[in-house]
């Protein structure tokens, strides 16, 4: 599938990355968002998946602006 790094021109580091995968139950493509920590460590995805690359990227940008 694919993987995209999400960057914001106002920051000095990427916000995170989005990885596409096929949902085993429905057979559709979904997009999973991962935080950007360090390339040398294994990180867990944020909960849930998104139906489009645009929604996954928008969610990541929103999450960065509104941390829990």
CA distances from 5 to 24, 26, 29, 33, 44 (A): 24, 26, 18, 10, 16
Place of tokens 């999973």: 32
Q: What is the pTM of this model?
A: 0.68
**Residue ranges covered by each domain of the chain:** 3-65
- Determine the Cα–Cα distance for residues 2 and 52; give it in Å rounded to an integer: 12
- Determine the Cα–Cα distance for residues 66 and 34; give it in Å rounded to an integer: 16
pLDDT of 3-62, one tens digit each?
A: 888 888 887 778 888 889 898 899 999 998 887 765 555 666 777 788 888 888 888 888
């Amino acid at each position: 599938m694919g993987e995209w790094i999400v960057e914001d021109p106002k920051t000095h580091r990427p916000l995170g990355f989005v990885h596409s995968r096929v949902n085993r139950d429905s057979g559709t493509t979904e997009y999973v968002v991962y935080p950007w920590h360090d390339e040398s460590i294994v990180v867990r995805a944020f909960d849930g998946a998104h139906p489009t690359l645009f929604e996954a990227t928008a969610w990541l940008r929103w999450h960065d602006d509104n941390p829990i």
